[in-house]
Amino acid sequence: MEEEDAAADPYLPYDGGGDTIPLQEIPRRGSNYAMSNGGGAASSTTHLLDFLEEPIPGVGTYDDFHTIDWVREKCKDRERHRKINSKKKESAWEFTKSLYDAWSGWLVVTLTGLASGALAGLIDIAADWMNDLKEGVCLSAMWFNHEQCCWTSNETTFAERDKCPQWKSWAELILGQAEGPGSYIMNYFMYIYWALSFAFLAVCLVKVFAPYACGSGIPEIKTILSGFIIRGYLGKWTLMIKTITLVLAVASGLSLGKEGPLVHVACCCGNIFSYLFPKYSKNEAKKREVLSAASAAGVSVAFGAPIGGVLFSLEEVSYYFPLKTLWRSFFAALVAAFVLRSINPFGNSRLVLFYVEYHTPWYLFELIPFILLGVFGGLWGAFFIRANIAWCRRRKSTRFGKYPVLEVILVAAITAVVAFPNPYTRQNTSELIKELFTDCGPLESSQLCQYRSQMNGSTAYTDNPNQPAEPGVYSAMWQLCLALIFKIIMTIFTFGLKVPSGLFIPSMAIGAIAGRIVGIAMEQLAYYHHDWFLFKEWCEVGADCITPGLYAMVGAAACLGGVTRMTVSLVVIVFELTGGLEYIVPLMAAVMTSKWVGDAFGREGIYEAHIRLNGYPFLDAKEEFTHTTLARDVMRPRNSDPPLAVLTQDDLTVEELQAVINETSYNGFPVIVSKESQRLVGFALRRDITIAIENARRKQEGIMLNSRVYFTQHAPTLPADSPRPLKLRSILDMSPFTVTDHTPMEIVVDIFRKLGLRQCLVTHNGNMLGIITKKNILEHLEELKQHTEPLATSWYYHKKRYPSSHGSDGRPRSRVHHVQLIRSFQDGWGGGGCSEEEEEEEEVCLLKGSNL
Amino acid sequence: WTSDTSFKTELLGLYGLLICYNSEDIRCKCICPPYRDVEGQIYKQNVSLKDCNCLHVVEPMPVDGKDVEAYCLRCECKYEERSSGTIKVTIIIYLSILGLLLLYMVYLTMVEPMLKRRLFGHSQLIQSDDDVVGDQQPFANAHNVLSRSHSRPNMLNKVEHAQQRWRRQVQEQRKSVFDRHVVLS
């Protein structure tokens, strides 16, 4: 074997010209390759990397803002698993270790569930308390919020349920009077004061300790789950600051919710706990399985909907979701919901504030208003995405984005000033949703339920909730309309502020307001026109016919669906909120309509839109690729570009290699047999090369600048006086993905999506021709989106664009022009200015995005 | 509902040990809507779950004997429990963390630069800033990775080192979020 391998050198002079390979030489070459690839016939396993050597610390890790290679990570995991399995029978200790390894997946999701449940409980309790702090304090026990303060008080009355002597508003404390214009102004002032100080504290903490804690986090988590690395995004400080500032942000009364950030918080927990288990801490692909489960736990505690959480993880955030992850997500969601339920943050034995129970049926004709609500939801979603993206783009590109603290303060001030006079915007958004969802019964005393018969003390309550409206309801209606407009405008400006801000609650509030308005209108219509044929059939006089609370719920689901474009998970989440199976059909109708209407105006949901705005390397699995371009149209180098930077397998020196790395910014280099035979050997990552060289300098004796670097199994024959060569085979990926230059892009895109590739090499007749990276594909998709040419002209189109790369007979012209070796080595770096086109990663993409 | 309460007393997650149940933490709340000439009322009593019904809780009964049944039919009684200890502990934990963070923030943004300026003068400050920025060499990164796994300094150095690294990270994050607007905008 050694002789055979040493005989690799004789192949070097061979020109490797694709079309002219002597036929009889092919088998010999093939056998030679098999030997050098597998590291000898003895190990028949599919080693990707050479594990026989001592591993270099740090190899196989990734830099910040880079994409992971799913294939490589999965192979690494399989290799590790195989190793543990083979050792299992050696001793009891090894057996225990293998058991621990097998169970660590369940352990880590259990821990994640526990932590995210506990943190959600903390956030819920603290946010409620702080929110009520704007209004007043509980004198008997400072740590109680308004509701808890009056929990045992017997002084509460039927009409004014939330008043009790223990709870003091700020005006009562400062001025000593509870009524009158003076106290109103005092309360107004204190409300604004607290709102501003909470917002200021939140944005300062975010800015000083963890800038990554801002925003909702779901777009970034989607990107991370698809294989991107953002260092520190799921770290300890981000977790702590996000938890703390989320409470402040919610309490400041800004139009935002805590549901999206809770997903981020849960993912931070998952990431932190995965460091306890080497199976997950050392493997980025496995870590993402834990993160998928964690995001399910996050939604589970945010909405009290464990199954909805799992479906959310599957439908919205996850990229790679095998069945094993599904079960683990399910378990994590269960544990998290269980913990939150035992903390019982709201004192109602439920996981969310706005849990409702309906038992009234709905009628077929009500589908029309439900579908109308769906249309509204879709329109709102499309409008919101456009407006918010436009505003965020402005923030990103103009000087305006330089003042994040000022912006937060300004938005908080406007919100507080406008919100206070209107009781529906003054209260906590979750409470508003609860009030809107709750149906009017005899037990309700809210303004929304002030129907005439109830107000008349003389008439007893009749069993008919469909009553003529009372002035209370009319004033509630216009207050709701104002609240709707206010929420719509403020939410656009709030989402994207540099504080933790979720989108679910404000969207749901907007939908619930609209739904409730429609519901009350329908109810009044049914009351005054009960002889219409529609109502005559279904609503007899005196029968319970229309449930405005249900309309609010459907509206909330429709608006959330319009913004996020979720379908199944959304319906399940709302279904779990209400616990009524009979409302599935209205919810489905509304959510589906809202998705259709929203998609008519733009196919992407708010999270995808933000991903695109930030230029994250996210390859959406939902979009279809329908163009007929070929791999060679997307491949780099382009015709006008300098040639591809490649390494040869055994005739570079350390100095030359360092020079290549210093001169280029590419993240990986194809390794070929030799300059003459440009056959592909493997692929080496820049980070690994740098680490390996640095490591060799420290540990191995005799590595000089002019040491030869080789990627082959055995050292090349060298002159006697030359320094010791450096073997880099262990960092060489010997099974890089390759496609031929004529592969249709549909297939290439599919390969990238399904396997989660980071780069793919393009060969022609077995010779190295170019490279396609994820970024190239994203650029290509973007380009195609810009000018969607008719499919039929595509061939002509690329022919026209790359006229010089193909002859008139359709044959590619000589390969030599595509791939050139780095001549400058021989010229002593005389032509150092020539930069070789090769893989440039997302960082560039990100930077480019910032210039928008 | 019964199972709910029993599992709840057993399981209080994080706070289990800290809290003993308070008699104030259970209530039976009955909401009675207006009936004839009786106004709507809310009754709260500290009774156990099995006694949580209108007959036990509504005291004094506002109507005569024969109307009691009709009145009670309209009332809705709900047994609720909370854990005031959990709330108290949570709020205290939250406020103490918030307070510590605020103190640390004030220290980092105001006190420390002032101390540094007083101790080392202006030039040092600028230089240390440069150190952070100049870390862009391709091989410096590899250097970092390798040195992280090798050096084993004593405890104090370690803390210092960790703090420095954290600071550099935060600075990097701040740059990418607030200045370059690369992520999260």
Predicted confidence (pLDDT) per residue in A594-618, tens digit: 999 999 998 888 999 998 888 888 8
User: Residue A227: what pLDDT?
Assistant: 86
The reply to whether A510 falls in a domain is yes
**Residue range of the domain that includes A579:** 364-403+475-603
Instruction: Provide the shortest C-alpha distance from residue B19 to chain A (in Å).
Output: 12
CATH number, domain containing residue A505: 1.10.3080.10
Token pair in block for residue A80 = 């590790």
SS3 A232: coil
Q: Say yes or no to pLDDT of A22 above 50.
A: no
Report the residue from A57, A161, A687 with minimal CB separation from B149: A57
Residue in B with minimal Cα distance to A60:
B145
Least confident of A463-467, A687-691, A718-722: A463-467
Confidence of residue A188 (pLDDT cuts 50, 70, 90): very high
| CB contact (8 A) between residue B182 and residue A661 | no
Confidence of residue A466 (pLDDT cuts 50, 70, 90): low
Neighbours of A398 (CB within 10 A): 9
User: Residue A843: what pLDDT?
Assistant: 37
Confidence of residue A11 (pLDDT cuts 50, 70, 90): very low
ipTM over cut 0.85: no
User: Residue A453: what pLDDT?
Assistant: 46
Q: Taking CB atoms and an 8 Å cutoff, what residues of chain B touch A662?
A: 138
- Neighbouring-strand partners of residue A137: A168
Q: Say yes or no to pLDDT of B22 above 60.
A: no
Rounded average pLDDT over A701-724: 78
Q: Which has more confidence, A255 or A162?
A: A255
Q: Taking CB atoms and an 8 Å cutoff, what residues of chain B touch A122?
A: 90, 93-94
User: Residue A838: what pLDDT?
Assistant: 38
Decide if A493 contacts A387 (C-beta within 8 A): no
- A642 burial type by CB count under 10 A (0-12 exposed, 13-18 middle, 19+ buried): middle
CA-CA-CA-CA torsion sign (B3, B4, B7, B8)? negative
* Region of residue A417 (left: phi > 0; alpha: psi -120 to 50; beta: else): alpha
Considering the domain architecture, whether residues A655 and A683 belong to the same structural domain is answered as: yes
Considering the domain architecture, whether residues A396 and A481 belong to the same structural domain is answered as: yes
Least confident of A236-240, A444-448, A622-626: A444-448
| CB contact (8 A) between residue B146 and residue A122 | no
Decide if A330 contacts A104 (C-beta within 8 A): no
Instruction: Provide the shortest C-alpha distance from residue B120 to chain A (in Å).
Output: 23
Q: Does A394 touch chain B (CB under 8 A)?
A: no
Q: A305-321 as b/e, with b when 16 or more CB fall inside 10 Å?
A: bbbbbbbbbbbbbbbbb
Q: Does A249 touch chain B (CB under 8 A)?
A: no
Q: Does B17 touch chain A (CB under 8 A)?
A: no
Report which DSSP code applies to A834: -
User: Residue A364: what pLDDT?
Assistant: 84
Q: Does A505 touch chain B (CB under 8 A)?
A: no
What's the domain count of chain A? 3
Neighbours of A159 (CB within 10 A): 11
Decide if B39 contacts B32 (C-beta within 8 A): no
Residue numbers of A between 741 and 800 with CB closer than 8 Å to B: none
Q: Give B44-79 pLDDT, tens digit per residue.
A: 888 888 888 888 888 778 787 788 888 888 888 888
What lies within 8 Å, CB to CB, of A216 at 6+ separation is A260, A261, A264, A495, A500, A501, A502, A503
Highest mean pLDDT (candidates A48-52, A195-199, B139-143)? A195-199
Q: Say yes or no to pLDDT of A369 above 70.
A: yes
CA-CA-CA-CA torsion sign (A19, A24, A25, A30)? positive
Decide if A713 contacts A729 (C-beta within 8 A): yes
Q: Taking CB atoms and an 8 Å cutoff, what residues of chain B touch A349?
A: 4, 80-81
Confidence of residue A715 (pLDDT cuts 50, 70, 90): confident
User: Residue A451: what pLDDT?
Assistant: 63
Rounded average pLDDT over A448-462: 49
Considering the domain architecture, whether residues A591 and A654 belong to the same structural domain is answered as: no
Residue in B with minimal Cα distance to A212:
B173
Task: Compute the distance between CA of residue A845 and CA of residue A775 in angstroms, rounded to an integer.
Answer: 7
Q: Does B111 touch chain A (CB under 8 A)?
A: no
Q: Which has more confidence, A841 or A224?
A: A224
- Percent of chain A whose pLDDT exceeds 70: 82
Confidence of residue A830 (pLDDT cuts 50, 70, 90): very low
Report which DSSP code applies to A16: -
Q: What does the DSSP assignment read for A346-402? A: TSSSSSSTT---------GGGHHHHHHHHHHHHHHHHHHHHHHHHHHHHHHHSGGGG
Least confident of A50-59, A222-231, A701-710, A802-811: A802-811
Q: Where does a domain end: A746, A767, A788? A: A788
User: Residue A541: what pLDDT?
Assistant: 58
Q: Does B53 touch chain A (CB under 8 A)?
A: no
| CB contact (8 A) between residue B13 and residue A402 | no
| CB contact (8 A) between residue B182 and residue A404 | no
Task: Compute the distance between CA of residue B42 and CA of residue B59 in angstroms, rounded to an integer.
Answer: 11
Q: Which has more confidence, A489 or A48?
A: A489
Residue in B with minimal Cα distance to A848:
B182
Q: Give A731-747 pLDDT, tens digit per residue.
A: 888 888 889 888 888 88
Place of tokens 């104002």: A482
Using alpha carbons, select from A89, A45, A81 the residue that is nearest to residue A324: A81
Q: Say yes or no to pLDDT of A107 above 50.
A: yes
Q: Give A115-152 pLDDT, tens digit per residue.
A: 999 999 999 999 999 999 998 898 888 888 888 888 88
Considering the domain architecture, whether residues A370 and A315 belong to the same structural domain is answered as: no
Task: Compute the distance between CA of residue A436 and CA of residue A464 in angstroms, rounded to an integer.
Answer: 19
CATH number, domain containing residue A698: 3.10.580.20
Rounded average pLDDT over B82-87: 86
Domain extents in chain B: 2-82, 83-118, 121-185
Which residue type does B62 have? P
Q: Does A462 touch chain B (CB under 8 A)?
A: no
> Whats the size of chain A, residue-wise?
852
User: Residue A383: what pLDDT?
Assistant: 94
User: Residue A832: what pLDDT?
Assistant: 33
Q: Does A496 touch chain B (CB under 8 A)?
A: yes
The reply to whether A308 falls in a domain is yes
| CB contact (8 A) between residue B83 and residue A344 | yes
The reply to whether A146 falls in a domain is no
What lies within 8 Å, CB to CB, of A852 at 6+ separation is A393, A396, A397
| CB contact (8 A) between residue B44 and residue A154 | yes
What lies within 8 Å, CB to CB, of A408 at 6+ separation is A199, A200, A202, A203, A497, A498, A499
Considering the domain architecture, whether residues A388 and A526 belong to the same structural domain is answered as: yes
The reply to whether A318 falls in a domain is yes
| CB contact (8 A) between residue A122 and residue B93 | yes
Q: Does B24 touch chain A (CB under 8 A)?
A: yes
Cis check: omega of the bond before A719, within 30 degrees of 0: no
Which CA distances in Å does B92 have to A542, B84, B86, B101, B104? 52, 12, 10, 14, 18
Confidence of residue A70 (pLDDT cuts 50, 70, 90): confident
Considering the domain architecture, whether residues A334 and A372 belong to the same structural domain is answered as: no
Task: Compute the distance between CA of residue A450 and CA of residue A465 in angstroms, rounded to an integer.
Answer: 11
Q: A165-191 as b/e, with b when 16 or more CB fall inside 10 Å?
A: ebbbbbbbeeeeeeeeeebeebbbebb
Token pair in block for residue A216 = 């909702």
Confidence of residue B133 (pLDDT cuts 50, 70, 90): very low
CA dihedral B23, B24, B27, B30 (to 10 degrees): 140
Q: What is chain A's Cα-based Rg? A: 32
Q: Say yes or no to pLDDT of A710 above 70.
A: yes
Q: Taking CB atoms and an 8 Å cutoff, what residues of chain A touch B13?
A: 114, 117-118, 121, 339, 342-343
Q: Taking CB atoms and an 8 Å cutoff, what residues of chain A touch B42?
A: 156-158, 161
Q: Which has more confidence, A793 or A784?
A: A784
The reply to whether A64 falls in a domain is no
Q: Taking CB atoms and an 8 Å cutoff, what residues of chain B touch A251?
A: none
Instruction: Provide the shortest C-alpha distance from residue B112 to chain A (in Å).
Output: 13
Strands A136-138 and A726-727: what pairing? unpaired
Q: Does B103 touch chain A (CB under 8 A)?
A: no
Q: A56-82 as b/e, with b when 16 or more CB fall inside 10 Å?
A: bebbbbbeebbbbbbbbbbbbbebbee
Using alpha carbons, select from A386, A404, A408 the residue that is nearest to residue A395: A404
What lies within 8 Å, CB to CB, of A295 at 6+ separation is A221, A225, A263, A266, A267, A309, A312, A313, A317, A318, A329
Place of tokens 């290679």: A69
Task: Compute the distance between CA of residue A535 and CA of residue A526 in angstroms, rounded to an integer.
Answer: 6
Task: Compute the distance between CA of residue A117 and CA of residue A123 in angstroms, rounded to an integer.
Answer: 10
Considering the domain architecture, whether residues A488 and A544 belong to the same structural domain is answered as: yes
Confidence of residue A386 (pLDDT cuts 50, 70, 90): very high
The reply to whether A617 falls in a domain is no
User: Residue A468: what pLDDT?
Assistant: 61
SS3 A168: strand
Which residue type does A116 have? S
Neighbours of A145 (CB within 10 A): 26
Report which DSSP code applies to A630: B
Q: Does B168 touch chain A (CB under 8 A)?
A: no
Residue numbers of B between 127 and 156 with CB closer than 8 Å to A: 138-139, 141-143, 145-146, 149
User: Residue A785: what pLDDT?
Assistant: 79
User: Residue A604: what pLDDT?
Assistant: 87
Instruction: Provide the shortest C-alpha distance from residue A709 to chain B (in Å).
Output: 17
Element (H, E) at A1: none
User: Residue A804: what pLDDT?
Assistant: 37
Whole-prediction pTM = 0.82
Q: Taking CB atoms and an 8 Å cutoff, what residues of chain B touch A344?
A: 8, 81-83, 86
| CB contact (8 A) between residue B139 and residue A658 | yes
The reply to whether A144 falls in a domain is no
What lies within 8 Å, CB to CB, of B134 at 6+ separation is none
Rounded average pLDDT over A454-465: 41
Decide if A391 contacts A608 (C-beta within 8 A): no
Considering the domain architecture, whether residues A638 and A747 belong to the same structural domain is answered as: yes
User: Residue A839: what pLDDT?
Assistant: 38
The reply to whether A174 falls in a domain is no
Least confident of A154-158, A480-484, A555-559, B95-99: A154-158
Task: Compute the distance between CA of residue A396 and CA of residue A407 in angstroms, rounded to an integer.
Answer: 13
Task: Compute the distance between CA of residue A495 and CA of residue A249 in angstroms, rounded to an integer.
Answer: 12
Distance between start and end Cα atoms, chain A: 57
| CB contact (8 A) between residue A61 and residue B101 | no
Residue numbers of A between 323 and 352 with CB closer than 8 Å to B: 338-339, 342-344, 347-349
Mean pLDDT of chain A: 79
Q: Say yes or no to pLDDT of A777 above 50.
A: yes
User: Residue A742: what pLDDT?
Assistant: 87
Residue numbers of A between 536 and 595 with CB closer than 8 Å to B: none
| CB contact (8 A) between residue A443 and residue B102 | no
Cis check: omega of the bond before A278, within 30 degrees of 0: no
Q: Where does a domain end: A345, A372, A392? A: A345
Interface test with A, best of B110, B137, B145, B174 (most A CBs within 10 A): B145
What lies within 8 Å, CB to CB, of B71 at 6+ separation is B32, B35, B38, B54, B58, B61, B62, B63
Instruction: Return the HEC string of A113-127.
Output: HHHHHHHHHHHHHHH
Task: Compute the distance between CA of residue A501 and CA of residue A823 in angstroms, rounded to an integer.
Answer: 54
Q: Say yes or no to pLDDT of A91 above 70.
A: yes
Task: Compute the distance between CA of residue A40 and CA of residue A42 in angstroms, rounded to an integer.
Answer: 5
SS3 A539: coil
Q: Taking CB atoms and an 8 Å cutoff, what residues of chain A touch B139?
A: 658, 661, 690, 693-694
Decide if A817 contacts A649 (C-beta within 8 A): no
User: Residue A54: what pLDDT?
Assistant: 59
Confidence of residue B3 (pLDDT cuts 50, 70, 90): very low
User: Residue A467: what pLDDT?
Assistant: 57
Q: Give A307-349 pLDDT, tens digit per residue.
A: 999 999 998 888 888 898 999 999 999 999 999 988 888 877 7
| CB contact (8 A) between residue A342 and residue B40 | no
Q: Say yes or no to pLDDT of A827 above 60.
A: no
